[in-house]
Structure 1
Amino acid sequence: MAEVTDVRTYQLGVSRPPLAVTDLPEPEEVFGVRRLGPRELIKYAIGPSLIALGISIGSGEWLLGPQAVGQYGFVGVGWVILVSALLQTFYNVESSRYVVATGEVPVVGWGRVPPGWFLWVPISVAVVIFAFIAGGWAASAGQGVYALVHGEVAPSGAEEPRIWAIALLVLVFLITASARRISRALELANWVMVVSILTGLLLIDLFVVPWELWWDGISGFLTPAAPPEGITATQLGALAGFTALASGLNWYVMGHYRDKGYGMGYRTGFLSGLRGGGSKLEPVGMTFPDDEANTARWKRWYKLLLTDMWGVFFVGAMLGMLLPTILMAHAVETSGERPTTANVPTFVASALDSEYGSTLFYIALILGVLILFSTQLGIFEAMVRVTTDAAHATSPTLRRLIEGDPRRFYYPFMFLLMVVIAVILHLALPVNLVQWSANMSNLGALIFPFMLMYLNSKLPRPARPRPYHYVILGLNVLFFGFFFINFIADFVGDPLITF
């Protein structure tokens, strides 16, 4: 176990400088309130889970889940969704535990795992970029905007949807550039989008979906059954990987707890937008002494973290999967057709148009665009954020060049990434790109839970996980790792298991 070697420092892991030791702040100090009651909790403390939820209610919930249910039904698919959501929410909490206890985001923390940052930080950035740069989330949003503008589904191979996808990337750039604090801008955008999405889907489902389909969807989550015959390893692995968030790569979003000011994140700074006056983002984290006062503060922060993740993210992710999938099942029933890889982004809207008229067609398209844009906003920004955090923390030369202002790296890199994604968008169908990304996310489940076990076991004693937490992290490895290995086997030849 890591020990305090000096009254002012705490050496955690290897290859990175020791953490400074100082007191945890009280939540009231961070959020600027006299008392943190229910109203203040919603207004000030809830937030990082909404950014994660905005990404979550996207590629998995609007594309992969409905496609799987539309083709194969609920039984044998629903339990995969539930298990994935449970495991991922727990994994999110464990990733965020490190952030709250040290003020370091996970990509920086990985540099403390043997043999050191020179291996794990570049690998971690590369895995995130490789998983998400395919841009299926952006291409699908572009298809939705095309249908919204023209009142019809885009013809196969049309260029205009890709132009719309690129325009939405530019919109992400503008949202971050106009912010004072980037995380806060993402929170506010997701408050609007997530509430609109869930409310809109709930009203449509109540209006058009028969109660027996509601029951089929809910019971499908709870019914253990073999995967349906004909579903491929890639489809099932993608569904598992992108249910809730991104399985083993979920850590790439948890750094927002630092910027929100949770725990020691309040001491280490945040990424500001161009309208912000700039903030001093510390390249090395801090932690707290093992004493009675700080233990009490830690328990308060950990309770807030659990509330944010289980009360908002998990509940929202399950609703975000249930509501679109029962709507898809109803669309399949009424249309007599099944969604394909090419038409799944607009399949529900087209079915509603035929059965109920153009009003629901346009409402469904608007919801679809919001769903996919919230994903686009979170993923695109997160790729830039992870790379910026990694470069800023590990390169003293870069910090000198940018004069300690991470924005001087953040925005040029965002522009470069936007150009690269704009090129890749032309290479494959959106859902194929999303399936690739989701299965690459499962690769992370073979790596990062073990690294998280190492880091969290070396936190100050009050912040360390209980023994059963390590067991559940191991279940993440087994569940998502199986799907990744099966995906690779299927990709290069024959899957290990067929359904």
Structure 2
Amino acid sequence: MSHPLGVSRPDLTVTDLPSPEEVFKVSRIGPKELFKYAVGPSLIALGISIGSGEWLLGPLSVGQYGFVGVGWVILVSALLQTFYNVECSRYVLATGETPVVGWGRVPPGWKLWIPLSVLVVIFAFIAGGWAASAGQGVYALFHGEPPPVGAEEPRLWAIALLVLVFLITASARRISRALELANWVMVGAILIALLGICLFVVPLSQWWEGIRGFVTPAAPPSGITATQLGGLAGFTALASGLNWYVMGHYRDKGYGMGFRAGYISGLRGERTEILASGVTFPDDERNRSMWRRWYRLLMVDMWGVFFVGAILGMLLPTLLMSQAVAMSGERPTRANVPTFVAAALGDEYGQVMFYVALVLGVLVLFSTQLGIFEAMVRVTTDAAHATSPRLRALVEGDPRRFYYPFMIVLLIVISIVIHFSLPVGLVEWSANMSNLGALVYPFLLIYLNSKLPRPARPRPWHYVILILNFLFFGFFFVNFIADFVGDPLVTF
């Protein structure tokens, strides 16, 4: 029995959905089991989320222009992206296919969409601004001061951190699980430390100003460009139209039909295969009930963990930045924003606070580096494995034989690229390239999700939200291109 879906890819095999208890090997899913076993992919996404937008672009914009007129862009972006994440993940849960493979089912077929999607992800993130910014933080930790503009040592630290990502994935039994555990530690430490520092140094009036800025609709402040706002919107929460590149972790976690599809194991793990094509479930009472259970787990993971964490991850660093500006009497620049808060806190409260803020910044940016670098390799591996029978034969069904050599190649390329521009400039480029995805992928999702088994299909208003993603993020990308080649569409 099979389920046809789209074009140019094999039909989906049909079999029953597993139960969450079967997947996570527990007798029941209570609150303890929920957070111990079921929550996870959202943490990988959140580790990326609390990074370039939250530690660099958001604080840079707020530090230069204040909260009002900027904060609402952050809130709208986070809401739209969480809805979008749910829809991307819906496809993974229902088919066991990662989104990059699913795009190949959309007319005219995989020969267009899969190579194009891999290129878009690589092109958006190959600049390595997240890596270069983390390198600046490590430099400051060792030298006790921000690096001079154009210094080589921060780039060497960035390359060393890329090597650390390789070692983390290589030492894992299951790569997704290793990323989850790393992000439990890093994201937890980041949010607790940020909250503690903000409660200590930020006055209540500034808290109110920040929260009010998030919910106050207002025109963008004079002087800010739509390209800057586009970078902020694109990297608030995750990566706007390209968020799908992380949602494949639900397959490796075993959510829904992902349990039937396989996962990428680490070098210490057992050899595992990934299905070359997807698998879905029949429309009967048992599977309808099981689908509702998996969908509820997805909603807890996305709205209860990712959305809440993303909002806190943007609010707390921007509060710190606004207070740093007030204390120092200066405004951050694109060159010094990775270490600006640490320097201001150090001047006001001493070297201990300087180093605490630096460690925090390095954790923030390394969690982003870990997720993005691994995801670029993962997306390429999934795409190549699904579309090339010759590659599957060459690696003998073991995707690690492609995954790790490609990671080394990508490490070398990024190490070269980060020598060409300021870190924040690289991040702004990546963020606006992420908005490019919003012009395309919401429509691909609408096509795919409308053809899922009936219990898994979205409600009509979900399609409206996907169109809003297209309009909101797409505007910023079109403006970015206009600004790049001539004059921006909008100035403030």
Q: TM-score, normalised by structure 2?
A: 1.00
Between the aligned partners of 1:208 and 1:438, the Cα distance in structure 2 is 30
What one-letter code is carried by the residue in structure 1 that aligns with 2:170? A
Task: Report the alpha carbon displacement of residue 174 of structure 1 after superposing the two structures with TM.
Answer: 0.1
- What is the 5 A alignment of 1:10-89? 10-89=3-82
What residue is the counterpart of 2:142 in the other structure? 149
Identify which range, 384-393 or 148-157, moves more after superposition: 148-157
Determine the structure 1 residue equivalent to 2:234.
241
In the alignment, which of 293, 296, 303 is matched to residue 303 of structure 1? 296
User: Does 2:108 match 1:115?
Assistant: yes
Q: How does 1:270-285 map to 2 (within 5 A)?
A: 270-285=263-278
Equivalent of 1:359 in 333, 352, 359 = 352
Counterpart of 1:3 in structure 2 is: none
State the Cα distance separating 1:39 from its structure 2 match.
0.2
Aligned-residue offset at 1:277:
1.1
* Offset from partner CA, 1:270-321 (integer Å, 9 cap, x none): 0000000111211111000000000000000000000000000000000000
CA distance in 2, matches of 1:138, 1:28: 38
Task: Give the AA of the match of 1:159.
Answer: E
Residue-by-residue CA offset, 1:169-212 (whole Å, 9 max, x unaligned): 00000000000000000000000000000000000000010011
**CA shift digits 1:238-268 (9 cap, x unpaired):** 0000000000000000000000000000000
Q: Distance in 2 between matches of 1:402 and 1:326?
A: 49
CA RMSD between the two structures = 0.4
Aligned mate of 1:291, from 269, 272, 284: 284
What stretches of structure 1 of length at least 5 have no aligned partner?
A: 1-7
Deviation at 1:434, TM superposition (A): 0.1
Q: Which amino acid aligns with 1:464?
A: R
Q: For residue 458 of structure 1, what is the aligned residue in structure 2?
A: 451
Segments of structure 2 that go 5 or more residues without pairing to the other structure are none
Output one character per residue of 1:455-475: Cα deviation in whole Å (capped at 9) or x when no partner: 000000000000000000000
Matched with 2:397 is 404
* Distance in structure 1 (CA, Å) of the matches to 2:149 and 2:112: 43
The answer as to 2:338 corresponding to 1:342 is no
- 1: CA distance, partners of 2:52 / 2:425: 11
Q: What residue in structure 2 maps to residue 4 of structure 1? A: none
Using the alignment, how far apart are the partners of 2:444 and 2:90 within structure 1?
13
Query: What is the CA distance between 1:232 and its match in structure 2?
Result: 1.2
1:386 aligns with 2:379: yes
Q: For the residues of structure 1 that align with 2:59 and 2:128, how far apart are their CA atoms?
A: 19
CA distance in 1, matches of 2:439, 2:21: 38
Match of 1:5 in 2: none
Matched, 1:376 2:358: no
Q: What is the total number of aligned residue pairs between the two structures?
A: 492
Distance 1:173 1:150 in 2: 26
Corresponding residue number in structure 2 for 1:467: 460
CA distance in 1, matches of 2:211, 2:93: 34
Separation in structure 1 between the aligned mates of residue 15 and residue 47 of structure 2, nearest angstrom: 34
Equivalent residue number for residue 266 of structure 1: 259
1:20 alignment partner, SS class:
strand
Aligned counterpart, 1:421:
414
Aligned mate of 1:180, from 173, 188, 194: 173
Matched, 1:257 2:257: no
Aligned counterpart in structure 1 of residue 191 of structure 2, from 167, 187, 198: 198
Deviations 1:195-241 (A, max 9, x none): 00000000000001001110111110000000111001221100000
Equivalent residue for 2:225? 232
Structure 2 equivalent of residue 442 of structure 1: 435
The answer as to 2:120 corresponding to 1:124 is: no
Q: Secondary structure at the match of 2:13?
A: strand
Equivalent residue letter for 2:26: V
Q: Displacement of 1:118 after TM fit?
A: 0.4
Secondary structure in 2 aligned to 1:134?
coil
- Using the alignment, how far apart are the partners of 2:4 and 2:170 within structure 1? 36
Return the alpha-carbon distance in structure 2 between the equivalents of residues 369 and 304 of structure 1: 31
